Amino acid sequence: MAFQFLTVVIPARNEAANLDILVREIAACIGLRRHEIVVVDDGSTDETGATLARLAATGLSLRHLRHDRSAGQSRAIRTGVFAARGDVVVTIDGDGQNDPTFIPALVAALEAAGPETGLAAGQRTGRTDTALKQASSRFANGLRNAILKDDTRDTGCGLKAIPTELFRRLPFFDGWHRYLPALVLREGFSIVHIDVRDRKRRFGASNYGIFDRALRGVLDLFGVWWLRRRARTVPSVAELDLDGRP
């Protein structure tokens, strides 16, 4: 299986300084492969628009989608997925902490795994976050894996590659981006994992806190558990000729 057109979706809110570097890094690492970079501006109040216009003027294959108000990371990713022109979508965080040099490896892993695989998921090594944030992440990932058994060490990593058609049919809810492995498994597909390097944030501060989503995260966790239990059997479908032959 080989993808013909790659869409990179970057959800971003007030990340103009980081995007100025990240977008150029992404274009460089993808090289000559047919692609587009879609920045979903989640109600930014900084210089995001001017920064992207300047980058587009250099000839980069860049699109700027803007929310009129902040709607959150999950909604921004979904906006990008439904606007994607490519047959595969790679997501990457807009803060520059995900290293885009791993994008080709993610896509190659998904292609090599074949059509039965629906997700290539990055898993961060050498985390650069604060000790408190890392401890919170380990607890959340451990609890999620114990309940959902999605065999993924780090669902918080923004680097993921999913075929566009599959991505669009996953059930959506706020916080959905943290449960993509479980939702892909629910559709009957397998997952491959790639270790990726974590980087320090260059500019600004995180738009996503540690404690503000705790209760909502617990509710989401049990909601996804319920969704998976309600779709435990995923049949293999084949269309037959009218004479009954495959």
β-pairing, 62-67 vs 35-42, is: parallel
Query: What is the CATH number for 23?
Result: 3.90.550.10
Query: Strand pairing partners for 7?
Result: 36, 89
pLDDT score, position 213: 52
In a domain, 213, yes or no: yes
In a domain, 196, yes or no: yes
In a domain, 72, yes or no: yes
Total domains in the chain come to 1
Separation of alpha carbons 131 and 183, rounded Å: 29
CA atoms within 13 A on the CB side of 244: 0
In a domain, 126, yes or no: yes
Stated pTM of the model = 0.84
In a domain, 19, yes or no: yes
In a domain, 246, yes or no: no
In a domain, 245, yes or no: no
- CB-based contact 94:80 (threshold 8 Å): no
Residue 204: give the domain boundaries: 6-229
Collect all residues with Cβ–Cβ distance below 8 Å to 62 and sequence separation of at least 6: 23, 36, 37, 39, 52, 55, 56
Model confidence at 227: pLDDT above 60 = yes
DSSP helix/strand/coil, 8: strand
- pLDDT tens for each residue of 150-199: 777 788 899 999 999 999 999 998 888 889 998 999 999 999 999 999 89
> Could you tell me the pLDDT band of residue 210, with boundaries at 50, 70 and 90?
very low
pLDDT score, position 212: 46
- pLDDT tens for each residue of 21-40: 999 999 999 998 999 999 99
In a domain, 21, yes or no: yes
